[in-house]
Chain A
Amino acid sequence: MTTQRFMLGTAATVAALMGTTALAQDAETITIGGLATLEGPFAGPGEDGLRGVELAIEEFGGEIAGHPIEFITASSDGNPDVALESARRLVEQDGADILVGPLSGSEGIRIAQYAKEQPGTTFLNGGSAAIETTLVDPAENFFRFNTEGAQWTSPLGEYVVNERGWDNIVIVSEDYSFPYAQIFGFMATYCEAGGTVQDKYFTPVGNNDYSSVIAQLPLEAGEVDGMYVVLGGSDAVNFLSQYAQMGGQLPIVGGTNVTDQTVLTTQGPARELLPGILSSGPVSDNAELEAWQEFTQRYQDYFGDEGLPSPSLFASNYYTNTKAALLALQEVEGDLSNDHEALNEALSNLEFTSPTGTVSLNENRQATAAIYINEVVEQEDGSLALEPLERIENVDQYLGLDREAYMELGLPSRDNPSCPS
């Protein structure tokens, strides 16, 4: 009797197990891992980046061709070691099929290397924008549908010389790969147009005390026309607050992150310096582009008070990259066989309308897209936003040069490029 019951129970269990496997095979879940900086100086940007991923998945109703999409997250703090650890967790432990991330420049370089070890996973960049990620020995399965740091700033250098008449500036920057890229792009056209850079000041990421740098900076325009500030997240807020408190009034052009919504929503002394800052980047809050307005509307409807008044650069970049993955998945109907062969092929040839306009990839799987030159303005409701001054279409990885000429410029570093007075 007992044996019989046991047999019956076993049979039932086995049947149940087989049932679940069969069910799972019908609609295999596709797992998307989101990797962003939820700690450290870029915690604000990181959170908003993941909002972008969520928004894209929600747009597709949480499933592709009958495959439910599962979204899991892991955190980093801007440090490549930590990003790698989190990426390994998402890919090797949680079995993420697609990884979207990371956020910060040097993390991106590290994750693109890791992508080569994991051919069975498709990597899409999140927000990271160092040049090297897709330029130096790029990984076959790493795609970047957002433009990078040098692309963002190359139109601006020329603009400040020609439109503002500046020809001597100082640069204050964080000391790692992404700001190098921003300076690289900016100076490429700025020096060409006749500008000189008197000095560059580099500070570590996550710095709290900028007094030693500020002591060396002029407080108002004179021999130096202005300063180019390439800081992000809390670094930008801390620096601008301290510079304002010292009475600094030097006109500012900003790196892309200085005028991002994660910084523009700050209160306190830094805020006084923000209106009027010129910058350039892939997004503009007040762009009259239909795709952008639609994206902003959906962001605001979905997140309400939880989100920022207007989606940040990071929300936009994470959203664009996730959407690319989902569109390509749709095209191949969720076929992930053979190390994602079909999916990767579809991604390489994908061209679609992102919140900032049409985006396509080049042979390094790096995006070509439009760039805005922006000015920070105060809105009627008192919030700050980016007002577009100019839109430059189709800025490519080589900044309009041919590949050889571009490679001859070398890789960006503290000293490259330089055009001293």
Chain B
Amino acid sequence: MRWILPLAVIVLLLVYPFVVNSFWLVQIGGRTLGFGTIVLSLVFLTAYTGMLSLAQMTVAGVAGYATAYFTAPTGGVGLLLPWPVALVLALALATLAGLLIGLVAVRTRGIYTLMITLAVAMAFYYLTLQNYDIFNGFTGFNNVEPPVILGLDLGANLPFYYMSVVLAASCYLGVRHVVRTPFGLALQGVRDEPDRLRALGFNVPLLRVLAFGLAGFIAGIGGILNVWLNASISPGSVALNPVIDVLMAGVLGGIGHPAGAYVGAFVFTIVDNFAIDFIARERFNTLIGLVFLAIVLFSPDGLTGLVRRAWTRGTGWARRDRGGAPKTDDIGK
């Protein structure tokens, strides 16, 4: 039974481009994978270290801006580098940004972490808006295209989609792997019993900062995909709305499991794009709000939680012997 779902997902991802039009391929599919990877970085932090961050879009923005700065200089701002160097730099800067935010936030917990990361996010937003030497102000960067490798244009719809699939899948599997390593187990220990971990001789603040760094790296990958999808980046890409969107998609999908990141990103993208079809154009944001409210109200652990509960009920007799589904109650403690 266990391999049915992963196999179905793999087949779906591979077949998807051949049954949908370019809008669903790029704007829904591509966006879900890129944006979902940013959400994944938040879910990783929250599910396995118990820390909620609002600065993941900001970290993604650092990678996006770096990609733009080094591959698409505009109006005298930027420095053209070969794309592999540019991408390595972008990811390094995103990781560094994650580490720095971790350093700032490491001694806080719960709502204070949220506040401090929100402050960082807003500071970065205003910096991009008002700095013209590096970020090019309100206009930001345009024409940020993915590279062409051996004649294969990664910016074309199909290659872009598959590249997104590969990167998103690597991030997802990477997270699933890391949480089983001693480092990942230690992180979960920090989440559940920081005092006991300290007593055992672990350096708790260091573990947390490293978790932020890793989350920064993941968000950086998502940020690069995002900037390629839009072919542009401007302060609007790291403003309050997108910053909150990440949290919203995470909560929607279920912040307790990495798969929730992509489920949440998918549902968020769909609702965001199509709500206007169902209601008067002046009121569509109300509908978006109501849908989110309903999901959070009826399934506090998001859509994956809903599915998991339905699954457990359906196969309850088989599961009961194995101890049931993992609990997600203690997330965000």
Residues on A facing B (Cβ under 8 Å)? 38-39, 47, 50, 73-75, 77-82, 84-85, 88-89, 91-93, 106, 109-110, 113, 175-177, 204-205, 414
Contacts and interface: CB of A to CB of B under 8 A. Distances in A.
5 contacts: A81-B237, A85-B27, A88-B27, A93-B273, A175-B129
B222 to A, nearest CB: 15
Contact of B21 (A84, A92, A414): A92
B284 interface: yes
Nearest to A79: B236
Interface string B116-130: 000000000010011
B241 interface: yes
Contact of B26 (A88, A106, A109, A175): A88
Q: Tell me the interface secondary structure of chain A in the complex.
A: helix
B232 interface: yes
B142 A50 contact: no
A84 B230 contact: yes
Q: Tell me the interface secondary structure of chain B in the complex.
A: helix
Given A79-B239, A113-B142, A177-B139, A92 B276 contact: no
B24 interface: yes
A77 B137 CA distance: 18
A82 B27 CA distance: 11
B234 A75 contact: no
Contacts of B21: 92-93
Contacts of B24: 93
Given A75-B284, A92-B27, 14 more contacts: A47-B282, A75-B281, A77-B236, A79-B234, A79-B236, A79-B239, A80-B234, A80-B236, A92-B23, A93-B23, A110-B232, A113-B231, A204-B129, A414-B132
Contacts of B27: 85, 88-89, 92-93
Interface of B: 21-24, 26-27, 31, 126, 129-130, 132, 137-139, 142-143, 230-237, 239, 241, 273, 276, 281-282, 284-285
B137 to A, nearest CB: 7
A243 B23 CA distance: 46
Contacts, number: 79
Contact of A39 (B137, B232, B233, B285): B285
Nearest to B226: A81
A205 B139 CA distance: 12
A113 B234 contact: no
Nearest to A415: B132
B241 A77 contact: yes
A106 B236 CA distance: 11
Nearest to A94: B23
B257 to A, nearest CB: 27
Contacts of B138: 106, 175-177, 204-205
Nearest to B28: A93
Contacts of B231: 84, 113
Contacts of A110: 142, 232
Contacts of B241: 77
Nearest to B140: A80
B236 A113 contact: no
A110 B142 CA distance: 8
B18 to A, nearest CB: 16
Contacts of A205: 138
B156 to A, nearest CB: 11
B130 A204 contact: yes
A50 B230 CA distance: 25
A139 B201 CA distance: 64
A41 B271 CA distance: 22
Contacts of A89: 23, 27, 273
B118 to A, nearest CB: 17
Nearest to B234: A80
Given A176-B138, A205-B138, A81 B234 contact: yes
Contacts of B281: 38, 47, 50, 73, 75
Contacts of A88: 23, 26-27
Contacts of B234: 79-81, 106
Contacts of A106: 138-139, 234
A77 B23 CA distance: 20
B137 A175 contact: yes
A92 B273 CA distance: 13
B237 to A, nearest CB: 5
A81 B142 CA distance: 10
Contacts of A91: 23
Contacts of A81: 230, 232-234, 236-237
Contacts of B130: 175, 204
Contacts of B142: 109-110, 113
A388 to B, nearest CB: 32
Nearest to A38: B281
B284 to A, nearest CB: 7
A115 to B, nearest CB: 13
